[in-house]
Chains A and B, each alone.
Chain A
Amino acid sequence: MKTSVNTVSFSTAKKDRMSLADLAATTDPAAEKKIARVVPASGSRPMTNGASFNSSL
């Protein structure tokens, strides 16, 4: 298995991080995924996509 050296996900660099105000103002799918790891699903049924039709894009 190849091993990478630089793994952006776990960077400790703070200089490029978004401010709290900007975090609140933007919607980021990556942020949503991080939150979903620790926030239990709410009472409404989660709506996820199924598998995409093979014979089109």
Chain B
Amino acid sequence: MTGPLVPFREIVLKVHSRCDLACDHCYVYEAGDQTWREQPRAVSDHVIAHTARRLAEHAEKHRLPSVSVILHGGEPLLAGPARLRRVCEELTAAVTPVTALDLRIHTNGVLLGPPYLDLFEEFGVQVGISLDGDRAANDRHRRFADGRSSHPQVLAAVELLQQPRYRPLFLGLLCTVDLANDPVAVHDALVELDPPRIDYLLPHATWAAPPARPGEAPAPYADWLLAAFDRWDERGRTVPVRLFESVLSTLHGGPSLTESLGLAPADIVVVETDGSLEQVDSLKSAYEGAAATGFSVFRDDFDAVAAHPGVRARQRGLAGVGEQCRRCPVVRSCGGGHYTHRYSAEGGFDNPSVYCPDLMALVHGIEARTPAPELPDAEQLAASALELNRLLLARLHGVLDGRGGPAWARIWELTTSLDGPGLDAALATPYTRGWLLDALAALDHGRPDAGATARRLAAYTVAAAVRDGAPLTLPVPWSDGRLHLPTLGELRLAGPGTAGTAEVSVGPHGFSVRNAHAEHRVPRPDRPTPDWRPLTRVDGLVVDDLDPYRDCFGTPLPPRLDPREAQEWGRRVARARARLAGAVPPWPPPGPLTTLTPLAGGTAPVVGRHGFGALGLPLGLTDRALDAALLRGGRAATLRALLDVADPYDMDGAWRHPSPWGPLPVSRLLAAAYEGVAVAAHEGDAGTLAELGPALDSLERAAELTVTGRRLVQTLRQEWEEASRAREHR
């Protein structure tokens, strides 16, 4: 695998190689690998010191914001409080000067008591416990070597962690699935212990040693997990379950949350008690030595392990799973399952999981149980777009972090005092997005104009004050000879190419602008003066050929229109919109477009890098062309607005889908189908409608789609079917 190394973020430190239980499902002692027998019982001072040093070096080299060290085994508590204290002290001393250290321990809980918990409290070590359910369930596997139940001791450990003093240390409960245990009873038993979180693990198995599958059910582990899911859902999902939340996260376009699912890279390294550096130890279920790398903390740094082919193989995402998985619709959520579970003697790890039918059924089952989100209407899209602009503005203030000086402080103070309808209207203008992104980029890149770009907020503040009738006086930057006030218009102050700052005073009768030695009065912002040009408004549409940030379409803009030209063009667009609204079926739904900006050339509408509601339309289109452009543009603008606030797909570009327009990534296929269905329905073209059917088929099979995306495609399919029926009846 080429590309930069993926640094390790999780280090599993084996502090003891033996265990005081004899769980017969343990992957360390009961599987193919028996190398534990050669390991020192407890980790030595030398291994501890070298591990701490190597980790600090690794974190510093890669500028890691944090690392997690999981104390593990065998049973880590067998190392004793004194040795565990040494581990915590060394790691804390070496690592915390470099990065944030997250310390955890995973234990069977049998030995857990105040001597350990007090130590963990001192160093902030969080504690996870293995427990397979109630006593009957837990006793099925988790016993002492002499056959005694371990359940009472584990329960005592959990009770300690429930005490207020130790509760912050409680990480949760890890449960290995056994089909012989009732899933509802298991889930209830775990939840009754009030853990902060739970996870369910499939017992480690491979094609060489497959899992038990009693009966005829094709996916019994999925059935078990879905029964637990239903119980979890029924009980209000109050305790997070990592497995379920990982599937839900990926269904919504987010990352997977566990190495056993999804395509996120595995960034885990294991340090054995003798200092040898190994891959994830569950590989021991595959064959003897499967986890070995040949490296050790004494001779090698973590980068050496990070470059190991076995480690890199688990960081390749989609390229790291087999062909069958790459073509599977649930691969984003499943990821081919746990790496170890793919092993076969013939194919190595280049197989689907031995749990493939269960994982498929689990993901489909959770998806079927997940409410498909309602798609936002125009009003909701507008509200979400405004909220996003407010978040970006808050981010701008945060990034400035006092560096804006008194000028910014004054602007911010006035802006927050006007936080209401007038400011909302100003911030909701589509080209506000362009300004905010430019201001953030200017700060990020250290541009010399960053401060001035940010201070353009003053224009919004003044516009809000004018709209609200709130008196204020504020310096406002202007550029290219003009002072632009969003939602209102622009004032010519000087010749092109000039810039400066003018003092704007808002009063009960409009506003006045003092610049250099001149004062301009605008008593009625909706009426022109020799120097004041209000925005052109026609039938609820704004013709915006004034905003300096309207130049975002990637296509030339014409000079500012003469006010009469702007009015006439606006009327033509309004008539086109009315024609579309009156068509059968009416396209597009009213509301999504509020702001039209004329473009100098071309024939196609353009959605640029702006906020919700704007569209670039070429001048000089015929009425018929204008109808088509408005139709296409309206759809494109709606889809762009949806993409700004939702995630219809993930991993765009990972696949190419067959379509009437050639193989396309899902983003382009969705955009083409979204516009195409509207146009074909409006024009009633049977050929185009028929062509869109296979495009929708492709979309419905696309693995990239999230639950939002599936809902969107479902809606598109309904529109297409209605249009096809209407066509047949003509």
Contacts and interface: CB of A to CB of B under 8 A. Distances in A.
Given A42-B444, A54-B258, A10 B645 contact: yes
Interface string B374-389: 1010011101100110
A4 B374 CA distance: 6
B372 A3 contact: yes
Contacts of A17: 387
Contacts of A50: 6, 9-10, 259, 264-268, 315
A51 B374 contact: no
Given A3-B371, A57-B104, A19 B70 contact: no
A1 to B, nearest CB: 5
A10 B444 contact: no
A24 B104 contact: no
Contacts of A53: 10, 12, 70, 259, 268, 280
Interface in B425-457: 433, 437, 440-441, 444-445
B183 interface: no
B397 interface: yes
A51 B265 contact: yes
Contact of A54 (B260, B379, B415, B440): B260
A47 B416 contact: no
Interface in A9-57: 9-12, 14, 17, 19-21, 23-24, 31, 34-35, 37-40, 42-43, 47-57
B394 A10 contact: no
B373 A7 contact: yes
A52 to B, nearest CB: 5
A20 B390 contact: yes
Nearest to B258: A52
A37 B645 contact: yes
Contacts of B398: 24
B227 to A, nearest CB: 18
B255 A48 contact: yes
B64 interface: yes
Given A10-B384, A50-B268, A34 B391 contact: yes
Interface centre among A9, A20, A21 (most CB of B within 10 A): A20
B128 interface: yes
Contacts of A19: 416, 419
A3 to B, nearest CB: 5
B705 to A, nearest CB: 12
A38 B258 contact: no
B644 interface: yes
B711 interface: yes
B388 A38 contact: yes
Given A24-B397, A37-B643, A54 B259 contact: yes
B256 interface: yes
Nearest to A22: B394
Contact of B711 (A1, A5, A24, A34): A1
B392 A39 contact: yes
B454 to A, nearest CB: 13
A2 B371 contact: yes
Nearest to B126: A57
Contact of B374 (A5, A34, A56, A57): A5
B394 A12 contact: no
A10 B646 CA distance: 10
Given A52-B257, A54-B260, A57-B128, A10 B391 contact: no
Nearest to A5: B374
Contact of A51 (B256, B381, B388, B644): B256
B150 interface: no
A5 B372 CA distance: 9
B85 to A, nearest CB: 20
A21 B104 CA distance: 37
A11 B65 CA distance: 35
Contacts of B9: 49-50
B380 A35 contact: no
A12 B391 contact: no
B237 interface: no
Interface string B630-649: 00000000000001111100
Interface centre among A3, A9, A53 (most CB of B within 10 A): A53
B566 interface: no
Nearest to A13: B383
Contacts of A21: 416, 419
A9 B281 contact: no
Nearest to B195: A57
B372 A4 contact: yes
B174 interface: yes
Given A1-B711, A3-B372, A51 B106 contact: no
A37 B646 CA distance: 8
Contact of B72 (A1, A38, A55): A55
B54 interface: no
Interface centre among A2, A5, A51, A56 (most CB of B within 10 A): A51
A1 B710 contact: yes
Interface in B362-421: 367-374, 376, 379-381, 383-384, 387-388, 390-395, 397-398, 415-416, 419
B419 A20 contact: yes
A7 B374 contact: yes
Contacts of A51: 256-262, 264-268
A55 B391 contact: no
A23 B268 CA distance: 36
A55 to B, nearest CB: 6
B264 A2 contact: no
A22 to B, nearest CB: 9
B242 interface: yes
B282 interface: yes
Contacts of B445: 43
Nearest to A52: B258
Contacts of A24: 394, 397-398
A32 to B, nearest CB: 9
A21 B318 CA distance: 43
B406 to A, nearest CB: 18
A23 B390 contact: yes
Interface of A: 1-5, 7, 9-12, 14, 17, 19-21, 23-24, 31, 34-35, 37-40, 42-43, 47-57
10 contacts: A7-B376, A12-B380, A14-B383, A37-B647, A39-B440, A43-B445, A51-B258, A52-B259, A55-B281, A56-B106
Given A9-B373, A35-B392, A56-B72, 12 more contacts: A1-B710, A1-B711, A4-B371, A4-B372, A10-B374, A12-B379, A20-B393, A39-B392, A47-B63, A48-B264, A50-B268, A54-B282
Interface of B: 6, 9-10, 12, 27, 63-65, 70, 72, 104, 106, 128, 171-174, 197, 199, 201, 242, 255-262, 264-268, 280-282, 315, 338, 367-374, 376, 379-381, 383-384, 387-388, 390-395, 397-398, 415-416, 419, 423, 433, 437, 440-441, 444-445, 643-647, 707, 710-711, 714
> What 8 A-B pairs are tightest by C-beta distance, nearest first?
A50-B267, A4-B371, A56-B106, A23-B394, A51-B259, A10-B380, A57-B128, A10-B376
